Structure 1
Amino acid sequence: MEEIKSHDLFDFMSQISQEMSSEYARIQKRATEDSGTAGDQGEENWAELLRDWLPPTYQIVTKGRIINQDGNTSPQVDVIVLKSSYPKKLLNKKVYLAAGVAAAFECKVTLKAAHIAEALESCVAIKSFFTPRKGSPFKELNAPILYGLLAHSHYWKGDRSTPVENIENKLVEEDRRLVDHPRKTIDLICVADLGSWHSSKKTFLTPNQYLNLRTPPNHSGRSLETTTAYIGHTNNFENQMEHFKPIGAFIFYLFHKLAWENQEYRSLADYYDLTDIAGSGSGPVRYWNSNIYSDEIKVKLERYITGVERSIVSNGEPWDEWQIMF
């Protein structure tokens, strides 16, 4: 493994992790007396972390519902990240206009399997508020809002417990049950003392055996395939970086995903990437056929597959909505 030089960011992530651990211990002392207050304190911990690490142009609020253009409202969300354009007059109304929300998070003090199912249900419901976007693979594979699940710690503490496997198995199970399009995947999960997961989407060419993409004349025998995955960066990952902290991975991928929607933040997202604060990770893959794309995108991708227009899909071009991986 290539040696990674020390960086102050590693120390910052260690400090944040220690603070979150201390807060967890403090909250747990009183949790049985008043679980509601314990939950409120946990939410405020995460809200404060976001206030400290996201650009000041974002407003961070707690406990609210999201309302779409038709007047439909979401279940209550614990922490909401509002765009800089959000009207000041409406900041404390507790019902937030969907178009002004950049990200939303459910927060748990101690994560359980049921919380993952609940988070996926809320994620799908809220992302369904938004009209599907068209024009590029990025727009069609991603909703304009991020959704995540945050926890200080987890329920599986026994000697023979397998918390990482439990989380990933439940995540895959609920994803298969609830998510009918890649844009509805949950974007981020962080358990501060265990690991961080982020959604990944990849489009590439494969032998024409999985998909129902219409086969054009003189087809090359290869078709477009899209996969989604939840990539886990965990403390017990083989050969994990010594400096790795789950919160570091969470901050990196949150910032990176926000930067896709806001160009102003891309230089710092690139900087975080170069420091490698996210560590290493992997995760199970789900396959999708070409019906997830609009007819416009399918036609363009067919032209790419058959060699008519090879310049459409990019490979490695930063922040290109036609690149192969998001």
Structure 2
Amino acid sequence: MSRITELYESAIKPLGNPECRSVLGNEKYVFAGGVVAAFECKLTLRTSDIKRAFSTASIVKRKAPTRLGTPYDELNGAPIFGLLAHSKSLGNDQGWHRLYDAVQKYAAETSDHPRELLDVICVADTATIALGKHVLVGKGLSEQELQELNEIGEQSAVAAMYVVQDEAKRHVDLDFSGAILAGLVYDLTYRMAFDDPTIRPWADHLSGLGFYGGIGIPLYCSEEVLSDEVRQRLKHDGASKDHWSKWNRNLP
């Protein structure tokens, strides 16, 4: 069990528990309700570190109260959980492909629900890989979304996709140096802004800089990861087109 999991477990014990009082009296802890984000940090990232980070994220997020009522709340577990590293040692692959393959592998193996997944991975000299969810449930799906469902042989689904943001030159006249760190800053700001409307203007400003977006492979799961109430509303009213709505189809 990682140190951050131990800290989290101690922080969520009832205050009336004598063991809790003893532990808090001897060490410094932060209560779970005050944690916005937590990170596993490495100098050189190895495959075992990626697996451990996914496992720790699942353990920590399972201990948080399950939120209900909107697609955003039901597909996101607190706290935001990330993996940060200066560099990586994943074999001879000098790009991001082996890193991405490991992320896909352990995302599928270690989590039972999209809300338990690692939210963002940033390797400073390689890429930022951020998680997004796409709700393919209810009325108002686009032709492209319907085609996507047809290709996987389903009438509805929830897709979780890790998107790669690197510094490869995509346009002759644009310099993408710094895009990896910018992608991390934007992703964290975007996630926090869903729960804190006061920073949404800053998140919108960062979005307008145009560095974000990338490629990824969806991981599909059943619409049943959403509650009956949320699915019924999506089927009756459809999703919201407001990109800050917790009923939008595209979510962090």
Aligned length: 224
Q: Which has the higher relative contact order, 1 or 2, with Cα contacts under 8 A spaced 6 or more apart?
A: 2
Task: Quote the sequence identity (%).
Answer: 26
How far 1:114 moved relative to its partner?
A: 0.9
| Of 159, 167, 175, the match for 1:235 | 167
How far 1:94 moved relative to its partner?
A: 3.1
Amino acid at match of 1:65: L
| Of 31, 36, 44, the match for 1:97 | 31
Note the alpha carbon deviations across 1:203-250, whole angstroms, 9 max, x for none: 134357744xxxxxxxxxxx3321000101113475595234211110
Aligned residue in 2 for 1:65: 7
Note the alpha carbon deviations across 1:65-119, whole angstroms, 9 max, x for none: 2235346xxxxxxxxxxxxxxxxxx8x9432211110000011001111110010
How far 1:138 moved relative to its partner?
A: 0.6
Using structure 2 for the length normalisation, give the TM-score.
0.80
Whether the aligned pair in 1 keeps the contact of 2:44 and 2:85 (CA below 8 Å) is yes
Whole-Å Cα distance in 2 between the matches of residues 94 and 189 of structure 1? 27
3-state SS of paired residue (1:96): coil
Amino acid at match of 1:188: V
Whether the aligned pair in 2 keeps the contact of 1:244 and 1:279 (CA below 8 Å) is no
How far 1:128 moved relative to its partner?
A: 0.5
| Of 169, 172, 179, the match for 2:104 | 172
| Of 110, 118, 135, the match for 1:186 | 118
Amino acid at match of 1:299: Q
Whether the aligned pair in 2 keeps the contact of 1:226 and 1:287 (CA below 8 Å) is yes
| Of 259, 262, 266, the match for 2:193 | 259
Is 1:200 the counterpart of 2:132? The answer is yes
| Of 226, 229, 234, the match for 1:293 | 226
- Structure with the largest fraction of helix: 2
**Structure 1 unaligned runs (5+)?**
1-61, 72-89, 212-222, 304-308
Whole-Å Cα distance in 2 between the matches of residues 180 and 322 of structure 1? 22
Aligned residue in 1 for 2:60: 126
Amino acid at match of 2:107: D
Whether the aligned pair in 2 keeps the contact of 1:63 and 1:94 (CA below 8 Å) is no
